[in-house]
Amino acid sequence: AQGYHKVVQENRNLYNMVQDLKGNIRVYCRIRPAFRSDTKNVIDYIGEDGSLVVLDPSKPNKDGKKLFQFNRVFGPTATQEEVFGDTQPLIRSVMDGYNVCIFAYGQTGSGKTHTMCGPVGASRKEMGINYLALNDLFDLSNSRKDVLKYEIFVQMVEIYNEQVRDLLTTDSTSSNKLEIRSCTSENGLSLPDATIHPVKSTTDVLNLMKTGQVNRAVSSTALNNQSSRSHSILTVHVHGKDVNGGTIRSCLHLVDLAGSERVDKSEVTGEGLKEAQHINKSLSCLGDVITALSQKNSYIPYRNSKLTLLLQNSLGGNAKTLMFAHVSPEGDSFGETVSTLKFAQRASTVELGAARLNKESREVMDLKEQIESLKKQLAEKD
Ligand code: ADP
Ligand code: MG
């Protein structure tokens, strides 16, 4: 059994390596523990190779089985550390100059916030990817400090009803409807008006996260349960300078998406209906973008929603992207679970192409400066 375990593990690593070479969106599935025993558990089989079989509770024979394949499946007993462990190499590549995007998808209550932030009032051990990632980036920055000087900044926004709101501003009077710049200059920000905060330690990060949570909570009491209806995005900007003056500029998007459940439009009216339509719209736009990318269409409809516009550079091409598909094991969630798994399966077929390194050597920078100054001289002659 030990030998079998090893072969399966090696196969999975190989599969992941091949996928990385092709530049596919990497997909991890995470199943949260079952909270209720009054409904059948739909998880039939979790393979170490990333396969998952779910069983339709209304068809408890072979016909009810559905097989899915991902890069990895985390079962209900997987710890935060384990999940982070498999994500760490990707996160670390931000420090080498790659753009990275990690997003959590799934119905409300399936564990998205648990993975990204951790449970409410989490101890350090229970912290999610947001905190663990920054913590790790600080460690890495420290260990490289003799050859590279890093600066790390964060922005945090939420998208609610197609409006982008800064979650880290302390200015309560600002109207907070931020614009997204779709075509960023190579090193520019796509959210130039959101506050940007330098962070040097995990204490800085914890303080900012507290501010973010408070700002999020304020709006969620005003508009019921907004947190499951909005997307929250923590963006980490990394600026690096090596001893020769070369630069690295990259960013890491950590996205906790709105609940993917279909809202029954006949039951909601007014504000609720508007909300449901907006959420359906931005998540279905994400689906459209993923479909278009997987079919290698020449036109990708990024502009159809704020979410896809903001993530444009992370979904289409030069970034490394990881999606966590979250599912609940309870039988009465089976419909949503299958729809999440299908979405995730489709995402895993998207080839992004090789990720691009956002790194420039001193030589290239010098050449670029020379070209600029020559251009200027030419323009002056005209
Ligand atoms: P979502 O953000 O998708 O709506 P949450 O992350 O808030 O879902 O999870 C719903 C509940 O389940 C929370 O109480 C959370 O702490 C708990 N939970 C989710 N995933 C896990 C897990 N892997 N282990 C233990 N508890 C979890
Ligand atoms: Mg949540």
Q: Which among 248, 237, 249 is positioned nearest to 147, based on CA atoms?
A: 248
Q: What is the pLDDT of residue 227?
A: 64
- Residue 107, annotated as binding a ligand: yes
To test ligand 1's pocket by mutation, which of 29, 30, 32 has the most ligand atoms within 8 angstroms of CB?
A: 32
Average pLDDT, the chain: 84
Q: Is the CB of 113 under 6 A from ligand 1?
A: yes
For the Cβ of 231 lying below 6 angstroms from any atom of ligand 1, the answer is no
Q: Is residue 310 within 8 Å of residue 233, measured between CB atoms?
A: yes
**Rounded-to-integer distance, Cα 380 and Cα 264, Å:** 64
Whole-number Å distance, alpha carbon 228 to ligand 1 midpoint, is 12
Q: Kindly report which listed range (85-94, 156-165, 236-245, 368-377) carries the lowest average pLDDT score.
A: 368-377
Which pTM value belongs to this model? 0.87
CA of 326 to the centre of ligand 1 (A): 10
User: Distance between CA atoms of 246 and 359, rounded to whole angstroms?
Assistant: 7
Give the pLDDT score at 66.
94
- Of 102 and 348, the structure prediction assigns the larger pLDDT to 102
Dihedral over Cα of 158, 160, 164, 170: its sign: negative
260 is in an annotated binding site: no
- 108 marked as binding residue: yes
Contact yes or no for 156/167 (Cβ under 8 A): yes
Work out whether strand 148-160 and strand 163-166 pair parallel, antiparallel, or are unpaired. antiparallel
Strands annotated E in 72-187: 72-74, 99-106, 148-160, 163-166
Question: Is the model more confident about 274 or about 34?
Answer: 34
Q: For ligand 1, is residue 326 a contact (CB within 6 Å)?
A: yes
pLDDT category at 187 given cuts 50, 70, 90 is very low
| pLDDT score of 299 | 92
List pLDDT tens digits, range 52-91.
999 999 987 778 899 999 999 999 999 999 999 999 989 9
**Which pLDDT band holds residue 241 (cuts at 50, 70, 90)?**
very high
Give the mean model confidence (pLDDT) for residues 149-177: 84
Residue nearest to atom 14 of ligand 1 (CA): 119
ipTM reported for the complex, 2 dp? 0.99
Compute the distance from residue 293 Cα to the ligand 2 centre, in Å.
27
Grade residue 304 by pLDDT with cuts at 50, 70 and 90: very high
- Nearest residue (CA) to ligand 1, atom 20: 111
Q: Which of 57-66, 141-150, 181-190, 348-357 is modeled with the greatest confidence?
A: 141-150
The answer to whether 111 is annotated as binding is yes
Question: Could you give the 3-state DSSP secondary structure of residue 259?
Answer: coil
Mean pLDDT to the nearest integer, 283-305: 88
Total H helices, total E strands in the chain = 10, 13
DSSP string, 194-258: S--EE--SHHHHHHHHHHHHHHHHHHHHHTTTGGGTSEEEEEEEEEEEETTS-EEEEEEEEEEPP
CA 99 – ligand 2 centroid, Å: 24
| Mean pLDDT in residue range 347-353 | 77
Residue nearest (by alpha carbon) to ligand 1 atom 16: 119
Residue 362: pLDDT over 80:
no
Nearest CA to ligand 1 atom 23: 32
Q: How many residues would you count in the chain?
A: 382
Query: If you average pLDDT over residues 279-296, what whole number do you get?
Result: 84
Q: Which residues contact 77 (CB under 8 A, 6 or more apart)?
A: 33
How would residue 338 be classed by pLDDT, with cut points 50, 70 and 90?
very high
| Percentage with pLDDT > 90 across the chain | 44
254 has a pLDDT exceeding 50: yes
Q: 296 CA distance to ligand 2 centroid (A)?
A: 32
Give yes or no for a contact between 42 and 76, defined as CB atoms under 8 angstroms apart: no
Q: Does ligand 1 come within 6 angstroms of the Cβ of 112?
A: yes
- For the segment 169-178, the average pLDDT, to the nearest whole number, is 69
- Read off the pLDDT of residues 108-124 as tens digits, 9 standing for 90 and up: 999 999 999 988 778 88
Distance 206 CA to ligand 1 centre (A): 20
pLDDT given at position 218: 63
Under the banding of pLDDT at 50, 70 and 90, the label for residue 133 is: very high
DSSP string spanning 291-354?
A: HHHHTT-S---GGGSHHHHHTHHHHSSSEEEEEEEEE--BGGGHHHHHHHHHHHHHHTT-B--S
pLDDT of 124 reads: 80
Instruction: Indicate whether residue 111 lines ligand 1 (CB < 6 A).
Output: yes
Q: Is the model's pLDDT at 185 over the cut of 50?
A: no
Instruction: Tell me what the mean pLDDT of segment 262-288 comes to.
Output: 71
Is 331 annotated as a binding-site member?
no
Residue that the structure tokens 């077929």 belong to: 349
